[in-house]
Structure formats: C-alpha cells, structure tokens
C-alpha cells in the first residue's frame, strides 16, 4: 500500500518535473524495436492482489497523474509482474475521463504505455486517436513516432489519425532524428499504409543522415521501405553502403531483416557483392539464428537468385533448421521449404525434404492457402513425387475444401505442383475442383498463370473433353499471345496439343508468334514447340508461316 501511495504523492512534490523528464527519456529511447515487435503484451492476472494501494482512493483525473501511473503499469508489464487489476481499471477510467485535457507529451506517453497495458481497450484507443488528431500540428518528432508506433504495434489503423500525423511528419521531416525516421517508417509499413508522400520525405531525410543511424535503425529503415515496395534505388544503395562495413554490429534479428529487405527490394546476388558478403557474415552466426531468422534469411538468399552451388549457406541453414522444425510457425515453414527448393536443393541429395515432409504432415490442418501452394511447389520442385511421400495426398486433401479461396497465382502454382509430382486427374478430384475454381476467374489469370495451369492439366492427363477449362484457357490466351515469355509460350502450346485441343486459330497464332522470336527459345522450348505442332497436326501451318516470313 505504501508503494502505491508513493506513486501518487510524487506528483504533488517537487519531483514531478524530474519524473516526467525521466519518462520522456525512456520513451525517446524506446526505439523501433525488431520485426515483428516482440515487446511483451500485458497479461491480466486471474486474481487481483490484496493490496490496492492509496492510488485507488484518490482522484486521478490530472493528466500528469494518469500518464505517470500508466507508465508505471507499463514498467510492471514489461518486467513480467502483475499490477493490481483494480488499479489498472482505475487508471484506464481516469485516462478516459481526462484525455480531452491531455497535451502532446501526455498523449505520446499514454500511447506508449497503452500498447503494453491496454492493448485491447478499444474505447481508450479511439479516444486517444481523436485527441491526437486534435493536437496533430503541435507534436514534435519523438511524439509523432511514439504515437504512430504504438498504434502500429497493436495493429490499430485509424485512417484519419495516420493521415493527419503523416502530414505533420512531412512538415517537420528535415528536423526528424534518425530514430524518428526509422520509427515512423516502421509504423506505417507495419500497419500496411503505403503513404508515398511520407516515405518520399522520410527517404530524403534518411539519405542526408544515413551515417548517423544505428544498426537497429538501419535494419528497421530498410525493412520498412522494402515492405511498402519503395522503388527508389538510392535509399537501398545508401543503406547497403553504410550497413555492410558495420554488419558485425547487427544482431540476428537485424541481420535477417536487412537481408530480407534487400531481396524484397529486388536486388540480385549477381548484381553486386552484397549478398556474397551477407552470406559470409551469416555463416559464423548460424547457431544464434532462431527459426524466424532462418526462414527470413533462407527466403532472402533464394529470392536474390543465389543457388546452393554458390555458397555453403543453404547447407548450413538446412542443418540449423532441421533440429528445430517443430518450432517454425506455418508461414516460416512454408517460406523455408520454398527457399530450399528455389535454391536448387533436391530431395535425393539429403534427408532434408524427407524430414520436411514428415514435419509438414502433423500441421497440415493449420496451413492456409498460401502455405499449401508454397509447400506443394517446394516439394515438387525438389523432384519429390507423390509415390515418395504421403505429403502430396495430404496437401490435396487440405486444398480441396478451400480451393475457392486460392488466388489465381496460388491456383496455378498448386496445379503445377500436383501435376509435376505425378498426380493424375483420374486418381484425385483435386484437378476437377481446381478447374471449377479457375473457370470464373480466367480473365484475371496472368500469362504465367495460364501457362502453368494449362501445362498442369495436360500433364495430369486431362483432355479437352474432360474439362471446359481448355476452351476458356484458349480464349484467354489468344489475344495475349505476344505477352507470354518463351517458356510460358512453349508450355502452353505443348499443353493444348497434349490435351488434344482442336483449335486452328490458336495454333495459327502460336506459329505466327513463335517465328517472331524463334531465336529466343531454349532447346527444350523448341523441342516442346515442335512436338506440339506435330501432335496437333498443325505442322503445315508452321511451314506456311515460315514460307511467308522468307518472302
């Protein structure tokens, strides 16, 4: 009880300004954290403690008192202790009643405290958003960053608030500290708000101060800009130039975020020494990576185009991943499996994919549509067949009831994977259900989706008489023939011939388009084209087009 009494009495003493100043320092130094933010959310105790404290007996409607007590509750929350539930409720009620009197500093500190103490209190967050909008033109950089980061941490996107505070941040962007810049970018990226004007202003300020960022600031900054698909190469180049000489300063989370960001931004391992240097830096810290780091790093290097033959990295990542595969969440599992397959690891080279398949089976019911597609693609790309594991049958069973929820890209990826694994349309109804899901959305398929779907159905033994899909695929492909890349073009021609599609106009278009880029096809592509025209009895059309082209 005496402990709680000191909380309240301090505000009537000369310590008030010192306490507020100290709390402000804590908030300013709070940082952008790592991604995802791992700060512990407040957990309510099952039973309130016996001691209520003198604070419960006083009126706490003074803004400074409310905020200070909220900050003390936050401190208890982060340390893992359980403040008295009645004191928590009393502080919340007092904040709700007096929030209209809060000034900028109070609102900033309350937002930071609330992210840990009141994460689920909707009314408090709503009133906090309204109050912050009221003061939006008066916040400094620290206060803007603290408020927006707190809303982002709890997954609360208030459009009016973010719009108003974005304008304020743009107005003062030149005076923002590097920590402010990183926090603001992190907040908007985390909440999924693609505010181009804000990111343009933040980019300008970041470029001028790039040498002042901490390693954590750099990783948060580059992660945020990559997450919103920022297209300006200057920022990524500047971060790479600044980060690489200091890469040993990055902790494992920052390292993983940075590698992920560069890959997400479209940088390739062949374009510079960046990924080579990152790979060299990753090897000695492999034992410190947790499952999230492994997934992010594996995805990053695979996305950059690096292959398992380019570096020992993938073998070391596989060795680190296998003993803890049960610790991966579904997203991390799917990303990691996809990355190993993308990097060229094969199921015959080691026990990796066998162990991945065994780990996938018990979690099949937790996979969403993206996980199913990525995992199926990974196993098929590794060369695994349906006869090698039950995983394809279980993936098909998991996919069937939710096929209508798959995006066009996921439908085509899943179809390709099942067909490449040797599944036949007569053995499973998955291809029939997949065709039904694809038919009404054929106009939304990309050229790659069309090619993969056509190839998959034909490879699975589906004939044009078995499905209406081939008719719709032909109708969708004809006007876009010139937009197919060479691989997709050859796959599509092969598929229609394999499915015995009789469509003279389609093959006439195939022959005309093929001749216009004949030198760009691979040997496998040329072989597929030749087989397709012979099998479709359209070789005469191809010869005619050749003759016309030589006149």
Cα distances from 172 to residues 109, 159, 512, in angstroms, run 20, 20, 58
Q: What percent of the chain has pLDDT over 70?
A: 86
- pLDDT value of position 60: 62
Does a structural domain hold residue 359?
no
Segment 29-55, tens digit of pLDDT: 333 333 334 333 444 443 444 433 444
Does a structural domain hold residue 544?
yes
pLDDT band with cut points at 50, 70 and 90 for residue 10: very low
Chain-wide mean pLDDT for the chain?
86
Q: Quote the pTM value.
A: 0.83
- pLDDT value of position 110: 96
* pLDDT over threshold 60, residue 540: no
* pLDDT over threshold 70, residue 549: no
More reliable by pLDDT, 59 or 500: 500
- pLDDT value of position 436: 93
Does a structural domain hold residue 513?
yes
Segment 59-78, tens digit of pLDDT: 566 888 889 999 999 998 88
- pLDDT value of position 36: 39
pLDDT band with cut points at 50, 70 and 90 for residue 8: very low
In 3D space, the residue among 452, 445, 368 whose CA is nearest the CA of residue 402 turns out to be 368
Structural domain harbouring 504: 475-550
* pLDDT over threshold 70, residue 15: no
Task: Tell me which long-range contacts 118-124 makes (C-beta under 8 A, separation of at least 24).
Answer: 118/42, 118/70, 118/92, 119/41, 119/42, 119/154, 121/92, 123/96, 124/92, 124/95, 124/96
pLDDT band with cut points at 50, 70 and 90 for residue 186: very high
Does a structural domain hold residue 160?
no
Q: Which residues contact 245 (CB under 8 A, 6 or more apart)?
A: none
Segment 341-390, tens digit of pLDDT: 999 999 988 889 999 999 999 999 999 999 999 999 999 999 999 999 89
Does a structural domain hold residue 428?
no
Integer-rounded Cα radius of gyration of the chain: 29
Does a structural domain hold residue 271?
no
Does a structural domain hold residue 539?
yes
Stretch 180-200: mean pLDDT, rounded? 97
Under a CB-based contact definition with an 8 Å cutoff, are residues 120 and 81 in contact? no
Q: Which residues contact 165 (CB under 8 A, 6 or more apart)?
A: 132, 136, 139, 144, 147, 148
* pLDDT over threshold 90, residue 266: yes
Does a structural domain hold residue 545?
yes
* pLDDT over threshold 50, residue 498: yes
Stretch 521-525: mean pLDDT, rounded? 88
Q: How many domains does the chain have?
A: 1
* pLDDT over threshold 80, residue 250: yes
- pLDDT value of position 544: 55
* pLDDT over threshold 50, residue 23: no
Token pair of 3, please? Answer: 């402990």
């Amino acid at each position: 009880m005496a402990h709680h009494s000191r909380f309240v009495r301090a505000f009537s003493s000369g310590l008030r300004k010192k306490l507020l100043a100290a709390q402000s320092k804590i908030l300013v130094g709070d940082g952008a954290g790592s991604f995802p933010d791992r700060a512990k959310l407040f957990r309510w105790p099952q039973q309130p403690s016996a001691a209520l404290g003198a604070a419960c007996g006083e009126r706490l409607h003074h803004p400074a008192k409310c905020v200070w007590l909220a900050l003390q509750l936050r401190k208890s929350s982060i340390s893992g202790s359980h403040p008295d539930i009645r004191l928590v409720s009393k502080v919340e009620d007092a904040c709700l009643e007096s929030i209209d009197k809060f000034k900028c500093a109070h609102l900033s500190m309350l937002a930071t405290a609330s992210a840990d103490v009141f994460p689920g209190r909707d009314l408090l967050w709503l009133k906090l958003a309204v109050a912050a909008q009221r003061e939006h033109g008066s916040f400094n950089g620290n206060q803007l960053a603290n408020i927006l980061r707190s809303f982002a941490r709890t997954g609360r996107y208030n459009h009016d608030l973010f719009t108003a505070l974005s304008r304020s941040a743009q107005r003062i962007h030149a005076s923002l500290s590097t920590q402010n810049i990183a926090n603001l970018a992190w907040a908007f990226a985390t909440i999924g708000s693609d505010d181009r004007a804000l990111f343009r202003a933040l980019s300008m300020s970041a470029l001028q101060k790039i040498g002042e960022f901490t390693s954590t600031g750099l990783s948060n900054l580059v992660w945020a800009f990559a997450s919103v698909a920022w297209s300006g190469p200057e920022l990524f180049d500047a971060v790479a130039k600044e980060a690489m000489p200091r890469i040993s300063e990055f902790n494992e989370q920052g390292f993983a975020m940075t590698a992920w960001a560069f890959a997400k931004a479209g940088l390739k391992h062949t374009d510079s020494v960046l990924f080579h240097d990152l790979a060299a830096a990753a090897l000695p810290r492999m034992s410190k990576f947790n499952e999230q780091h492994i997934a992010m790093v594996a995805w990053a290097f695979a996305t950059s185009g690096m292959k398992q033959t380019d570096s020992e990295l993938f073998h070391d990542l596989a060795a680190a991943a296998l003993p803890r595969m049960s610790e991966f969440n579904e997203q991390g599992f799917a990303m990691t499996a996809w990355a190993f397959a993308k990097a060229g690891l094969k199921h015959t080279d080691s026990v990796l994919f066998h162990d991945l398949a065994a780990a996938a089976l018990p979690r099949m019911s937790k996979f969403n549509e993206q996980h199913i597609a990525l995992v199926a693609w990974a196993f098929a790309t590794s060369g695994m067949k349906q006869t090698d594991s039950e995983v394809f049958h279980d993936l098909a069973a998991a996919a069937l009831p939710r096929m209508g929820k798959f995006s066009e890209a996921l439908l085509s990826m899943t179809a390709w994977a099942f067909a490449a694994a040797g599944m036949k349309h007569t053995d499973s109804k998955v291809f029939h259900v997949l065709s039904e899901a694809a038919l009404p959305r054929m106009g939304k398929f990309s050229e790659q989706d069309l090619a993969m779907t056509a190839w998959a159905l034909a490879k699975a033994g589906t004939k044009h008489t078995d499905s209406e899909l081939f008719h719709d695929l032909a109708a969708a492909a004809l006007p876009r023939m010139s937009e197919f890349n060479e691989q997709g073009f050859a796959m599509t021609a092969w598929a229609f011939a394999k499915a015995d599609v009789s469509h003279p106009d389609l093959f006439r278009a195939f022959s005309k388009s093929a001749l216009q880029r004949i030198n760009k096809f691979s040997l496998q592509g040329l072989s597929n084209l030749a087989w397709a025209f012979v099998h479709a009895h359209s070789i005469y059309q191809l010869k005619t087009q050749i003759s016309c082209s030589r006149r």
